[in-house]
Amino acid sequence: MAAAGIPAGLVWWWLAPRADFRITDAGPVVIGTPSNELLVADDVVFALVLSVAGLLFGAAAWFLRRRRGVATVFALAGGATATGVVAWRLGELLGAGPTEEQLADVGARVTTSLTLGSPPALAAAPFMALLAYVVAVLYARGDDLGRTAATPAGAAVDEPADEQDAALPDERPLPDDRPLVDVPPPGRPSS
């Protein structure tokens, strides 16, 4: 999953707005009218890119049926965190600010650097990945989370004897004489 940080970093670098300046004798002069929200725009775009990546990771992890469980949750959180770190470092590397030579060159056009000002934005990918996975777990039909059992090579697979055996355990009809809850009726002491 850490390799997914490369395209995420590229998307952040491509989408994040930055301001352009012209270097004059008096110092840098803004070209155009940059937005007042320019300083937080880098962080917002970064958080949105990582949120989308996290949702994709969570959905992909859910569809790996044999791997569902606690280990998947830890791997999902760790991998999504690694994605965020790689995207952050790559985006800042590609969107580096002007050098001293560029700032000394009168008439040159420079662009502000791409900087993550809010490190908690790194938590967007793991949060969204785990959110997508947990929502899928909440809608799972059985306690086995819908996992498929791995069958060893050469092992025979038992076929169900009839349609009732083929149904999932929670879908089998209950006998009419069996109570739904094992509690004694009112007025009768429990044994």
How many helices (H) and strands (E) the chain has is answered by: 6, 3
| Cβ pair 124, 51 in contact under 8 A | yes
- The listed range with the strongest mean pLDDT (24-33, 77-86, 179-188) is 77-86
pTM over 0.85: no
Give pLDDT tens digits for 24-41.
Answer: 888 788 887 777 788 789
| Listed residue (93, 100, 98, 86) closest to 115, CA to CA | 93
Instruction: Tell me the C-alpha distance between 110 and 21, whole Å.
Output: 5
- Count of Cβ atoms closer than 10 Å to residue 90 Cβ: 18
Angle between helices 124-138 and 70-94 (to 10 degrees): 150
Give pLDDT tens digits for 103-162.
Answer: 888 888 888 888 999 999 999 999 999 999 999 888 877 766 666 665 555 555 555 555
State phi, psi for 28 to the nearest 5 degrees.
-70, 140
Count CA within 13 A, CB hemisphere, residue 127. 10
What are the extents of the domains in the chain?
2-138
